[in-house]
Structures are given as structure tokens and as C-alpha cells.
Structure 1
Amino acid sequence: MKHFIIGTAGHIDHGKTTLIRALTGRNTDRLKEEQNRGISIELGFTYFDLPSGKRAGIIDVPGHEKFIKNMLAGVIGIDIVLLVVAADEGIMPQTAEHLAILDLLGINKGIIVITKTDLVEDEWIELIEEDIYEEVESTFLEGSPIVRVSSTHKSGIDELIKLIDEFSDIIEERDTKDMPRLPVDRAFSISGFGTVVTGTLLSGRLNLGDEVQIFPGNTTSRIRSLQVHDEDAEVAYGGQRVAINLAGVKRKEVERGSIIAPINSMKSSMMVDVKVKVLKSADRSIENRTRLHLYIGTREVLCRIVLLDKDQVNPGEEAYAQLRLEEEIVSKRGDKFILRFYSPMFTIGGGEILEANAIKKKRFDEKAIGELKIKESGDSKDILEKIIYSKSKDFLSIKELSQDTSMLEETILSDIDELIKEDKIITFTSAKDIYTIHYKYFDVLHEKIINEIKSYHKKYPLRIGMPKEEIRSKILGKAKQKIADQILEKIFAIGNVVQVKEFVSLSDFKIKYSKEQIIIKDFILDKLKVNEFLPPRNGDIASELKLNLDQVEEVLNSLINEGVVIRINEDVYILSSSYYKALELLKEFVNINGSISLGEFRDILGTNRKVALGLLEYYDQMKITNRDGEKRTLIK
């Protein structure tokens, strides 16, 4: 069944609440003050059944200028608007403001209802109709039907109900597969039940027992009970008025302006990129860095507008901008909003969210503006590509992309498959998620790594390469280790960067000794050859050559990387050939005697205790020998 919401709009005391009572038989003024004063202050909600069997939710919004923020909280999510104009007064200031707001919010279906027709002559009503036609010209209500009613005498009510029923057939159905979002317009406590919230479910579906989160914020809950149009329900669909009893949530943890959605499905932001439009009827412009009231969903926050492609936006003009917020919001690309001046308070314009989790942008940056144009007009795949490109350095996961875009993970995965085929993005997998970067950013990383290694080779010409861990921390620091390793493997596959042990070098790199280093190298090799099992300490070599210890160790480390020298412990180095010769002597002795002691090994080599112990412990580490008390045996 199709679900839809009707909303009223119009000036104070033009009969909106009375009209709803005539349609539904119910009074939507629930506050005592409203009933005493005869005006709507807060939002009113009810429903009625149409002749076709469809059930329509209906929202009564206040018409008084003082309560415009309540009106803005109510019109979110409506499918059909009833623009109410009293026959005895005609178009009034709040009629015009409500119409402008509805137009900015992208509402595109409506019926014009002239009320209180029993108070005036038909000729007067015809004049009122002419004024209305002129007022709605170039708005979404241009060409919309006008119905004359008297709520008191019930004349025209049946015609209006029939017209609403006809309109319901052309309303686009909400996507029940989309992510559910419920902007809260009321929150209250019921003794014995706890906290209850109400709102219009914008999309998707909510089920009894679903785990949900209150955004902005980290409070989570479970849907304990669910009502749709005052009746208990197992499931609620986009386009329905919904009441939710939230388990374990205190009243102070949720308020009008909160959004109920699946856990971790959205991301709070202090900055959004937008396309903004100033009303033609506005009597002033929006200048850069003007402080404004932002109304989005059911939330109201203060913000400062940073114009990206203009210095000011004049009446009737549009511009790309960034709203820098004073409180966090959660939103989705395509969400509509209203802007009102900070003081005095009046509606100046509105617009559409292009990037819900924006990063700070420079003004008049052609590249940034170009990206916003794509986000304004592109499909989900184009937009996803731009987001991945702009945030590649963060190595976003599918879950994080879903939070950033409020797109379903299935939609993101489908778009990613297409982008992979087009060689635009690369994905890397972990046990729990898939991570993405743009191919252009991968090329940037590749170039950065090459340049980093070049600098390293120049600084340390005797080192086999840059430690892999250093590459990870310097260039891939924001990537999880498993993802960083996969990125490096993909770079190694290209061929100009290679891994040698735990080092990374350029494939054409060769160690080059300076003249001084060749002298050090030859001296070390001679010393180690002559003193095969009584090698000098590196400090002794440095002293003999009258060099710094660092200069000697640099050459020693190079010889180790080349496999010519083996480091046994902190300051004992021997030739690789001596190492293997000692190992053969050890094996011969053990094969004859079954085991070997430290003293026996020392005597075989003709060395001292330190070198013999260093070699034996090294063999232990390499799993060649096994220590058992004072003896060692070979591991078979």
C-alpha cells in the first residue's frame, strides 16, 4: 500500500485546523493554550481514510509568524500540501512565506483550498482566486486546482477528499529499501513506558525490535514498540507518521531535531557543502560569512555561510557555498533546507545539501566548485567516485562511505563494482570490511614512495633500502597495516619498487661505496679473515681507523645486507664463511659425541667464551641447536 503525508500551510486564522477537523473529525490542537486562543502553536497530527481505502497522514502546521520554526519542523516529509487561503482575507504575509518555504523544500504537489467561503460573496471569491493565481505563478502550485470550502457548512469537503484521493495515485512511492531516517518532531515521556518520539519516516522501513541510534550523538536503543497512525504496528514504511517507544533512553537524550536511524548509518558534521538560492522576493542579499539560522529536517542550528563562487547572492540568484555550523547535524546529499536571517528573523532562501560531511574549502577554487557541480547533477556512482577521490587519504571503508553518504552498503558495492571496471578506484580487503582509494591517489602514493626511497638511497647509499615499517608510517599512516601491506604489494607488482627482506628499495638500486668506505670495507674484511674466530669489536675497528663508530657500523650494516658478514650479537661480527665453517665443526663434533658444551665449542674454534656463546645462542635462535642444561644437541 502507498503511504503518504498531507500538510497544511497558510496564514494564521485562515482555518487550517478547522479544515482538518472537517476532513478527519479530529481536533489537532492538543495544547490547552491552542484551544483557548484558537490558534495552532505546535504541530498537530492525525489521519483519515480515503474512499479508495488509502490512509493519509495529515500534519497541521502553525500559521503565526512567531511559530515559523514549528511550521518548518512539520513540513519535512510531506507529499501533498493544502495551501489554505481564507476567503475573507486572501493572500497574507504568512501565506506567501509558507509558499516560498514549500517551493524551496522541493515539494511539488499541492491543492489550493479557499476556506470560509460562507462569509463572502462569490464575486469576492473570484477576485481572491485571481490574486492566488498571480501569487503561485512560477511556483510548484502554478496550475494546481483550487477548491472552495466552508468547513462550518461542510461544503466542498467531499470534492476536496476526492481530489486528494486522485492526487494520491500520482505520488511517487518512497523507497522502502533505502536507509530509514526518522527526523524527530516530538519527544515526550509516558509513565510506565518511557521515552516516545514521533516523526515522519522519510524512507526505508523500521521494524519492531530494530537497533537504532539517536543522531547526532552516540546514544543507541531498541524499538520497544511502534505505532503508525495511533495503531500498534510490527513495521513502519517511508511516508508514514510513526511513534516509537525507545528502550533505555532518557527523555533528555532525544529532542526535536534528533534523527533516528540504524546504528552507525550516519555521520555527524560541523560543515556541509550546499547549493543555496535566495528568494526573488527577498529585500536583501546574502553576503559572504553572514550568520544565519539553518532549518534542516526538524533541526534548527546557527551557521555561518561561506560563499565559494560569489561575494554575495542577490535575490533570485544561486551560489555554491559551505555552511559552517555551530552545532553538529546529520544530513544526506539531496536534503533540502531553509535559511533565515539571524536578526531580524525572516526567510531569505534555502537550498540543497551536496556534501553532508564536507572538508574546508578555499573560495573561488575551480576544482572544488567543479566537484560540487558533479555532486549536484551526477548519479550516485559519479558522486561516490568524487567522495572516494577527495577522501582517498583517509582510506575509507564501505561502512564509512555509507556513513558519509547515507547510501546503503549494497548500493555502494554495486557502484564500486562499476568504478573498478572503469579503472577509477582500487579496493583492498580486511577481515571485516572493504577499503577504497581512487586510482589517481594510488598513483600519487606510488610517486611519493619512489621519491621517499630515492631520498633514502641518497642519504644512506650503503643501506639495502628503506625499512618497510618506515614507509608505512610516513606515507600510509592512516591505513590499517593489512591495507597498507596490500597497497605496497600492488606497488611491488609494478616492478620499479621491490622488497628485500623487511626493506623497500628501487629495483635498479645498487650499493655504492665511496673511496673512504672502500678503505673501511677492505680493512674490516681483512681483520675478520685474519681473526676468523676472534673478530675485533666494531669499536676497536673504529679506533684503529681513527673514525667515528657510526662510519664503521654503516659499512658493517651494508656488508650484513649483502650477506658477506653476520652479526652474532651487539658487537660481535664474523664473516659468513666463518659462520658456516663454525657450524660444520659443531655438527661434526655433535655427530660423534651426541652433544656439545660451551667450553668444548670454544676450544674447537680456538676462540673466547663471548664469541662461542654468541654463536651458540645464534644457532639456538635459528633453530639449529637445542640447549639442554649445559649441553646442546642438533635439532633434526
Structure 2
Amino acid sequence: MKNIIIGTAGHIDHGKTTLIKALTGRETDRLKEEKNRGISIELGFTYFDLPSGRRAGIIDVPGHEKFIKNMLAGVIGMDLVILVVAADEGVMPQTKEHLSILKYLNIKKGITVITKADMVDEEWLELVKDDLEEYLQDTFLKDSPIFTVSSTKKTGIKEVIKTIDELTEDLEDRDEKEMPRIPIDRVFSITGIGTIITGTLVSGRLENGEDVQVYPKDKTARIRSIQVHGEDSEKAYAGQRVALNLAGIKKDEINRGDIIAPKDSMKSTMMIDVKLNLLKSSQRIIENRTRVRLYLGTKEILCRVVLLDKEFLTPGESCYAQLRLEEETVARRGDRFIIRFYSPMITIGGGEVLEANPPKRKRFEDEVIEELKVKETGDTIDVLEKIIKDKSESFPSVKELIVATALQKENVLNMINKLKSNKRIIDFNLLKDKHVIHIDYYNKVKQKIIKELTEYHRKNPLKLGILKEELRSKYFNKVKPKLGESYIEKLIYENIIKQENENISLKDFKVELNQQQINIRNEIEKLYLKDKFSPIKKEDIFNALDYSDEEIEMVYNAMLNEKILIKISNDIIFHNKAYEEAKKKVKKFITEKGSITLAEYRDQLNTSRKYAIALLEYFDQNKITNRQGDKRTLQ
């Protein structure tokens, strides 16, 4: 069954509270001060059952301009608004301001009710109605029905209820798969029960026993019990007025304006990217870095407006902007907001959140503007792709993307799979989470690595390549080492590069010597094979050959890389042929005799103890032999 939230709007003392009592049979004013002064100061809440059997929550908002921030806290999550205009006064300043607010908060359905019809004559009533119809022509209520009622005499009330029932019949169901969120509009405690918060569940669903977090604070709590329209419930669904009894948190640790949502599902921010609209009726312009009051959810925050694509914003215009906040909050893409001047406090515009956790933007950057256009007009999957593209350098995880999109894990994974099948992204699976990058970022880094390896091979034709760790730390130093390694391994898998030992080279690279280098290699081989089991020291090679030290070093390292020379220990190196022969000798001796001692092996090679023990220890390390006391056997 659809969950319906109805709200009132209108000037002070136009009869909103009295109308609600006539509709529901209940009063909503709850403060002693409100009773004494006869006006609504805080939000009031109640409910009533429609003829169809559906239950509708109803919010009574204050009409006085001093309490406009309380009114703003009440309109979050409204499905339908009742604009209330008193017959004896007609359209007044707060009527106009409330309508502007409703427009920017994307309220699309409503009715208009002229109250106090019994206090004026028919002729005056017709004049008020004509004036009202004319004024509403430029608003979302231009084609909506207008009723005249007397709340005290109950005349016209049945018709209002019947129309509300009809207008809410075709409301779209809210998406329960979205992340649950409640912007808090009231906090109080009850002796013996504990901390209570109330608000409209604007998305998702909540259940008893769930752990939740209070944002932007780092406070967690458990839902002890749920009430919907004053009745206990095991679950709450999007579109319902909800009261939560929270365990593990005190009343003074929560404020109006905070958000209740699942743990670690949102990220606090000091900046939000927005599409900003200035009222046609505004008497002011917005210059860059103008200080304003932001009303987001149920919270009021001071901020500076950084205009991203205009020098200034004039009445009726819109632009992209970044709001730099003076305190932390949380938001999600698509959230609606209102701005008012810092002083005097008048409503001047509103808009929509495009990015809830952006970097600090520079003005008049084409790339930034293009990004915000996608986030304004694109489908959810387009926006997810854009988020991945923007964050690819950090290899965003699924968990991070859930926070960025405020969608449930299942939705995000489905879109990731679709983007992957369309070859728009690449994913990397770590033990705890999946990470993704955009194909454009993948190709960009790939070309950089290819270019660097090409230049490296040109300058170092005798070296196998760049160390894998060197590439990883250069291109992926901002992410977990395993992610950088996974990227390099993907290039290897795609046969773009290859790995030998810890060296990375282009797939077709081979060490190629010129004639002089071939001569040096041949002479080095002769020196090593001259006394093959008592090999020459490296420093003696430099003295023996009539070439530059640099040329000898290059060829020598190439011979090590190609395994022509085998490094047995830090200062002992054998020619590959000598090493293989030494290995055959030890295997043959042990096969025939059962074991071999150091002295026996030294005699087999006709070498010194130094070289024999170095070889045997190398065989041990490489699991060819196994030492048992002073003897060695085959492994």
C-alpha cells in the first residue's frame, strides 16, 4: 500500500492548523506557547484515513516568517501540499515564499484551499478566488483544484478529503531498494523509554534491531522500536512518518538536521556541487562567494556560493555552483535544497545536489562543467560511470560507490556488471571488496607505461626492463599495492608487456648486442670457463679486458639477466655451463654413493672449499640437495 505524506503551506493565521483538525479530527499544535499565541511555531504531525482505506500522514508547518526554517524542515518528503489561503486576506507574503520553496523542493502535486469562507460575503470570495487563480498560473498549482471551506463549520471538508484521495491514488511507489534515510525533525526523550527521533523516511526501509548511524556525527545506535502514525511497527517504509526509539545514544547527542541511515553508508562533506536557481522575484543577485543560508533536509547551514560557470547570478537565472559549507553535513545526488540570504533572511532560490562529496572546484573549467551536466541530466548508470571515471585514480571500491550513489549494494553491482559487459569499466577483485576503474583511465595509464618502457629499452638495450615495484610505486602509489600489481598483471595477461623475474618489458623486447658487445661477452665467457669451478672475480674482469668499465658493466649485467652467468652468492658467480656441470656431478655422486660431504664434492670439482661450499648451499636453497649434518642427500 502506498505511503502518503501531506503537508500544509501558507501565510500565518490563515487557518492551516484548524483545517488539519477539520480533516483529521485531531490537533497538531503541541507547545504551550503555540496554544497561548494561537500560531504554529514548531512542526505538528498527525494522520487520517482516506475513503480508500489508505492512511495519510499530515504535517502542519508554521506560517510566520520567523519560523521559516521550521517550515522547511517539515516539507521534506511531502507527496502533496495543501496551500491554505484565508478568504479575508488572500495571497500574502508567506503564501508566495512557501510556494517558491515548494517549487525548488520539487513538490509537484497539490490543492488550494480557501479557508474562513464563512467570514466574507460571496462577492468578496469570488474576488479572492479570481485573484488566486491568476497568481497560481505561474506555479505548479495552476491546474489544481481550488476549494472554499469553513473549517469551524466543516463545510467543504468532505470534498477536500475526496480529492486528496483521488490525487494520491496514482502516486509512484518509493524505491525501497534505495538506502534508507531519515532527516531528523524532532528529538526528545521519554523517561523509562529513552531517546526518540522523528522524521520522514524518505527512501528505503528500516527494521527493528537494525544498527544505524547518526550523520554527520560519528555516533551509532540500535533501533529499539519503531512507530508509524503512533502505532508500533516491526518495519518502516519509504514515505512514512516515523518515530524511532534509539538505544545506545543520548538525546543531547542528536540534533534536528542530523540524518539517520545505515552505518558507513554516507560520507560527511564540507562541499557540495549543485545546480542553483535564483527566483525571478528575487530583489538581489548572487555574486561569487556570496554568503547564504542553506536548507538541506531538515538542516540549516551557513555557506559560501562559488559560481562555477557565471560571474554572477541574476533573478530567474540558473548555474552550476559549489557550496562551501561552514559545518559538516551529508547529502546525496538529487537532494533538493533552498537558499536564503544571510541577512535579511529572505528566500532567494534553490536547486538540486549533483555531487555530495566533490573535490574543491576551480571556476570556468570546461571539464568540470561537462561532468556536472552529466550528473544533472544523466541516468543513474551514466552518473555511476561518471563517478567511476572521476575516481579511477583511487580505484574506488563497491562500498565507496554505494556511499557516492546512496544506492543499495545490489543495484550498484548490477550497474557495474552492465558497465563491465559494455567494456566501460574494468574490475579488480580483492579479498574484501571489488574495485573498479574506467576504461579511459586504464588506457591512459597503459599508454604511459608503454611509452616509458619504449624509452627505457632505447636507453638500456641490455637491461631486461623496469622493476615491477618501480612501475607500481610510480603509477599506483595512491592505492593498495595489490591493486597496482593487479593492473600490471592485467597488462601481462593481455600480452602488452611481459615479466622476467621482477623486470617488466614490452612483450616483443629482446636484449640484442652490437658487435663490440658480442666481443665483450665472448671474452667474459672465456675468462669464466678458463678455470670453471674456481671462477674469476668480477673486479678482475675489468682489469683483464681492454674496454670501458661502463661497456663491460652493461654486458655483464645482460649476461646475468640472460642466465649466462649464475650468481651463487654475493661475490661468487659461475658460468651457466660450469654450474650445470657442477649440478650433474653432485647428483651423479649422491645417486651412486647415497650422500656427499663437502670434502668429497671439493675433490670432485678439483676446486677450493670456498667454491664447493657456495655451490652446495645454493643447491640446498634451490631444493636440489638436503643437508643432514656434514652430509648431503638429494631432495
TM score, norm. by length of structure 2? 0.94
Residue of structure 1 in register with 2:88 after alignment: 88
Partner of 1:263: 263
Letter in 2 for 1:533: F
Instruction: Find the counterpart in structure 2 of residue 35 from structure 1.
Output: 35
Map of 1:389-538 to 2, 5 A cutoff?
A: 389-512=389-512, 521-538=521-538
Which range moves more in the overlay, 570-579 or 26-35? Answer: 26-35
Match of 2:112 in 1: 112
Deviations 1:242-288 (A, max 9, x none): 01112212333322122222223223333222111100000111112
- Aligned pairs, how many? 635
When residues 36 and 515 of structure 1 are mapped into structure 2, their CA distance, relative to the original with a 3 A threshold, is: farther
CA contact (8 A) 2:12 2:63 kept: yes
Answer yes or no: is 1:57 the counterpart of 2:22.
no
Aligned equivalents of 1:519 and 1:316: distance in 2?
Answer: 82
Contact 1:356–1:405 (CA under 8 A) maintained in structure 2: no
Question: Contact 2:177/2:407 (CA < 8 Å) preserved in 1?
Answer: no
SS in 2 for 1:272: strand
Instruction: Determine the structure 2 residue equivalent to 1:213.
Output: 213
How far the C-alpha of 1:97 sits from its partner, in A, is 0.6
Gaps of 5+ in 2: none
**CA drift at 1:514:** 7.1
Distance apart, 1:464 and its partner CA: 0.7
Alpha-carbon shift at residue 183 of structure 1 (Å) = 1.1
Render the CA deviation track for 1:395-420: whole Å, top value 9, x for unaligned: 12222211111122222233333323
Give, in angstroms, the shift of residue 55 of structure 1. Answer: 1.0
One-letter identity of the residue aligned with 1:368: V
Letter in 1 for 2:282: A
Q: Distance in 2 between matches of 1:574 and 1:180?
A: 69
- CA deviations on 1:108-131 (whole Å, 9 max, x unpaired) are 111112222232222222222222
Does the residue aligned with 2:143 lie in a helix, a strand or coil?
coil
Superposition map of 1:207-246 within 5 A: 207-246=207-246
Aligned to 1:387: 387
The equivalent of 2:247 in structure 1 is 247
Q: Which amino acid aligns with 2:157?
A: I
**More off after superposition, 400-409 vs 16-25:** 16-25
Distance 1:152 1:470 in 2: 81
Distance 1:167 1:505, change over 3 A: same
Residues 1:101 and 1:530: Cα distance change in structure 2 (over 3 Å): same
Pick which of 43-52 and 414-423 moved more.
Answer: 414-423
* Contact 1:395/1:478 (8 A) holds in 2: no
Quote the offset at 1:566 in angstroms.
Answer: 0.7
Q: How far does residue 99 in structure 1 lie from its aligned partner after superposition?
A: 0.8
User: Is the counterpart of residue 141 in structure 1 residue 136 in structure 2?
Assistant: no
Question: Does the Cα contact within 8 Å between 2:194 and 2:245 map onto a contact in 1?
Answer: yes
The structural deviation recorded for 1:232 is 0.4
Sort the Cα spacing of 1:515 and 1:294 in 2 relative to 1 into closer, same or farther, 3 A.
farther
Indicate conservation of the 8 Å contact 1:538/1:553, yes or no.
no
Q: SS of the residue aligned with 2:40?
A: coil
Call closer, same or farther: CA 1:66–1:554 in 2, change over 3 Å.
farther
Q: What corresponds to 2:2 in structure 1? A: 2
Structure 1 unaligned residues grouped into runs of 5+: none
Query: 1:456/1:134 Cα in 2 relative to 1: closer, same or farther (>3 Å)?
Result: same
Deviations 1:147-194 (A, max 9, x none): 222222222222222222222213222122322211111122223332
Separation of aligned partners in 2, 1:297 and 1:358: 19
8 Å CA contact 1:448, 1:475 repeated in 2: no
Report what 1:592 is aligned to.
592
SS in 2 for 1:300: strand
**Greater mean alpha carbon deviation, residues 312-321 or residues 527-536:** 527-536
Q: Are the counterparts in 1 of residues 178 and 406 from structure 2 also a CA contact under 8 Å? A: no
Once the two structures are TM-superposed, the CA of residue 212 in structure 1 deviates from its matched residue by 2.0
Q: How do 1:220-369 and structure 2 match up within 5 A?
A: 220-369=220-369
Q: Once the two structures are superposed, what CA deviation does each residue of 1:416-436 show, in whole Å capped at 9, x if it has no partner?
A: 333233322222323333322
Distance change (3 Å), C-alpha of 1:289 and 1:551: farther
Given that 1:15 and 1:84 are in contact with CA atoms closer than 8 Å, whether structure 2 keeps it comes out as: yes
When residues 584 and 186 of structure 1 are mapped into structure 2, their CA distance, relative to the original with a 3 A threshold, is same
In the alignment, which residue of structure 1 is the partner of 2:79? 79
Give the C-alpha shift of residue 548 in structure 1. Answer: 10
- Separation in 2 of the partners of 1:156 and 1:429? 63
Amino acid at match of 1:339: I
Q: Secondary structure at the match of 1:391?
A: helix
Instruction: Tell me if structure 2 keeps the 8 A contact 1:538–1:549.
Output: no
Structure 1's 547 and 608: CA in aligned 2 closer, same or farther, altered over 3 A? Answer: farther
CA distance in 1 between partners of 2:380 and 2:243 (Å): 31
Distance 1:303 1:555, change over 3 A: farther
Q: Secondary structure at the match of 1:569?
A: coil
Q: How many Å separate the matches in 2 of 1:170 and 1:507?
A: 62
Q: Percent sequence identity over matched residues?
A: 57
Aligned partner of residue 221 in structure 1, secondary structure: strand
Report the RMSD for the aligned CA atoms in angstroms: 2.3
Q: Which amino acid aligns with 2:336?
A: K
Displacement of 1:544 in angstroms is 5.9
Q: Secondary structure at the match of 1:604?
A: helix
**Which region of structure 1 is more displaced relative to structure 2, 586-595 or 63-72?**
586-595
Which amino acid is 1:582 matched to?
A: A
Q: Give the whole-Å Cα distance in 2 for the aligned partners of 1:333 and 1:346.
A: 25
Shift in Å, 1:518? 5.9
Which residue of 2 is the match for residue 189 of structure 1?
189
How far does residue 229 in structure 1 lie from its aligned partner after superposition? 0.7
